[in-house]
Amino acid sequence: MNEKNSWINKLIGIFLGNQEKKFHEIIIEREVVEEIIQIARQSHPLEFMAMLEGNVSAGILRINGLVFVPGETSNQGAVMKLFMMPMITGTVGSVHSHPIPNATPSSEDLHFFAKNGLFHLIIADPYIEESIVGYDTFGDVIKYKID
Ligand SMILES: [Zn+2]
Tell me the per-residue pLDDT of 39-53, one tens digit each, with 9 for 90 and over.
Answer: 999 999 999 999 999
14 in any annotated domain: no
Do the beta carbons of residue 36 and residue 26 sit within 8 Å?
no
| Helix ranges restricted to H, the chain | 3-15, 30-43, 78-82, 107-115
Do the beta carbons of residue 47 and residue 96 sit within 8 Å?
yes
Domain that holds residue 85: 25-146
What does each C-alpha distance from 96 to 9, 37, 46, 67, 91 come to in angstroms?
24, 10, 10, 12, 14
The half-sphere exposure of 23 on its side-chain side, counting CA atoms within 13 A, is 23
Report the predicted TM-score, pTM, of the whole model to 2 decimal places.
Answer: 0.78
10 in any annotated domain: no
16 in any annotated domain: no
6 in any annotated domain: no
Domain count across the chain: 1
Tell me the per-residue pLDDT of 87-133, one tens digit each, with 9 for 90 and over.
Answer: 556 788 999 999 999 999 999 999 999 888 889 999 999 999 999 99
| Res. 2 pLDDT band, cuts 50 70 90 | very low
57 in any annotated domain: yes
111 in any annotated domain: yes
Distance from residue 99's CA to the centre of ligand 1 (Å): 9
Distance from residue 47's CA to the centre of ligand 1 (Å): 8
Tell me the per-residue pLDDT of 61-75, one tens digit each, with 9 for 90 and over.
Answer: 999 999 887 654 555
Distance from residue 110's CA to the centre of ligand 1 (Å): 8
C-alpha R_g of the chain: 14
Distance from residue 96's CA to the centre of ligand 1 (Å): 7
Which CATH number fits the domain that encloses residue 113? Answer: 3.40.140.10
Distance from residue 103's CA to the centre of ligand 1 (Å): 7
Number of neighbours of residue 121 by Cβ within 10 angstroms: 23
18 in any annotated domain: no
